[in-house]
Structure 1
């Protein structure tokens, strides 16, 4: 009888990593480019954005000394876009970081403690979210930046009030997301076990709820950055944005009167705003989809 060797049958399952969508790479590249431009754009050897070249008024793109052309007043478009990236990124990030932090704290604590506090917070959030972002910003600006002939508003105060109004707009958006996510996680077994062991409420919120709420806030935070840019650009078009053509929205507002004979003054900052908003939306959608898959496994 011949010895027969039985070879074990090993089933090899190739774990295929799901490829990220093309939009994710495009969005990541553009967002990274804009952030780097905002942080290190001042190192690029170009003409100062607020320095006018009177020998090149209204020059079109791809000219020898002005790659993206100039405005009708002789300001270099490339310099303006680089400076606009810095201002737009700064305003958007400040509004989302501060507003998101305040909103998340209020939303998470209201979901955890419930009761009258939660009902009051929910009512305030619902009222604020029922008002369009642009209308709410206009109302806040008209109250906080009120000026007349005897008491004119300074540029510094105007910028600070604009940022403050954007922060207030962001608070209910991310606050409601934080509350909804905290309601879900506060009922989990590990949270209830911590409560039964006498763990302090602040410790439970810090160690168990906030780390699980953070991914949802991050996902919606990218969408909120796009919303802030749209609101800032809309306010600039209405003449109450950041003065002096400093941001992309202000450049768009300054160039709209020259669109017939100098269209690049309008479509270049408009394209920058559009690409950034779309990229933030794409990136936020990807993070949100990844979050949904993560929560399904828990």
Structure 2
């Protein structure tokens, strides 16, 4: 085994040990792991078709037949929560990947080249930061159409500026390091330097930020769906909340229709947030000393 692979393995072991000692990270991992297992194995253990309705009594409270009660169409709320987990997590994951790719490319390019390129890209980033997210997302969703893939695209296209700013600030520091100067001296082109030297050094920062952006992406999907801009053909926790309020579940006292999807959103976002802060503490020596 060569030196580089040994170094990667040793760093991975140190990261794993540091994460296992972080109580906040372990709590977040348990929360997130539970919902990921629900999304993967839930439909196999508890088969449910959200398109079927009228199978049970309307607004029936929890009992032995329906553990979380039924909704306004007689559908099983527990089955809807399990089915919605897959949609919400997939939307959050895919939109986060798109956001990270855009933010990383813009951040590294801006910080490395500086000058006019930096000014142009940062002014574009400032525009996205200044425009309120919710109106922009609603307008884009209305233009593109309320489908699952369009929601992923909208969230990804509107949530990258923070990542771009963070990556740019780190790139400005890295481009002045000796290893970058040596790479330039031996004739390495800019694309190679950014890919082989800059990107690996900003990756821990990107990784920690990705976890936090995933939480924001799930909240964004829930918000758009709750406001009626979600895909009605694909059930999610946000769509469940939308239909619950639309059917008057709050005024009827049907807490079993409102609390489960809302609680799932809160706990999933909390899990991502805990893991993100844990990695931030591990990768940031200043936070470790605190």
Query: Are the equivalent residues in 2 in contact too, given 1:72–1:262 (CA < 8 A)?
Result: no
Q: How far apart, CA to CA, are the structure 1 residues paired with 2:18 and 2:43?
A: 40
Q: CA deviation at 1:243?
A: 1.5
> Corresponding residue for 1:182?
171
The one of 273, 277, 282 equivalent to 1:290 is: 282
> Corresponding residue for 2:6?
none
Structure 1: runs of 5+ lacking an equivalent: 1-15, 146-156
Q: How does 1:190-229 map to 2 (within 5 A)?
A: 190-229=179-218
Q: Deviations along 1:67-98, whole A, 9 cap, x unmatched?
A: 22211211111111111111011111111101
> Corresponding residue for 1:153?
none
The verdict on how the C-alpha distance between 1:209 and 1:277 changes in structure 2, with shifts beyond 3 A counting, is: same
Q: How far apart, CA to CA, are the structure 1 residues paired with 2:82 and 2:287?
A: 40
Q: How far apart, CA to CA, are the structure 1 residues paired with 2:75 and 2:233?
A: 12
Q: How far apart, CA to CA, are the structure 2 residues paired with 1:111 and 1:71?
A: 52
Q: How far apart, CA to CA, are the structure 2 residues paired with 1:161 and 1:245?
A: 13
Structure 2: runs of 5+ lacking an equivalent: 1-16
The one of 250, 254, 259 equivalent to 2:250 is: 259
Q: Deviations along 1:249-280, whole A, 9 cap, x unmatched?
A: 11011112212321111111111111111111
Whose radius of gyration is greater, 1 or 2? 1
Q: Deviations along 1:8-42, whole A, 9 cap, x unmatched?
A: xxxxxxxx979734322121011112222223332
Which of 274-283 and 230-239 deviates more?
Answer: 230-239
Q: How far apart, CA to CA, are the structure 1 residues paired with 2:88 and 2:149?
A: 14
Query: Are the equivalent residues in 1 in contact too, given 2:142–2:229 (CA < 8 A)?
Result: no
More helix by share: 2
The one of the two structures with greater contact order (alpha-carbon pairs below 8 A, sep at least 6) is 2
Q: How far apart, CA to CA, are the structure 1 residues paired with 2:83 and 2:276?
A: 25
Q: How far apart, CA to CA, are the structure 2 residues paired with 1:82 and 1:45?
A: 8
TM (norm. structure 2) is 0.85
Q: How far apart, CA to CA, are the structure 2 residues paired with 1:290 and 1:187?
A: 24
Query: Are the equivalent residues in 1 in contact too, given 2:32–2:272 (CA < 8 A)?
Result: yes
Which of 208-217 and 18-27 deviates more?
Answer: 18-27
The verdict on how the C-alpha distance between 1:175 and 1:142 changes in structure 2, with shifts beyond 3 A counting, is: same
> Corresponding residue for 1:55?
56
Aligned residue-pair number: 270
Q: How does 1:150-161 map to 2 (within 5 A)?
A: 158-161=147-150
Q: How far apart, CA to CA, are the structure 1 residues paired with 2:270 and 2:19?
A: 23
TM (norm. structure 1) is 0.83
SS at match of 1:168: helix
Q: CA deviation at 1:289?
A: 1.3
SS at match of 1:59: coil
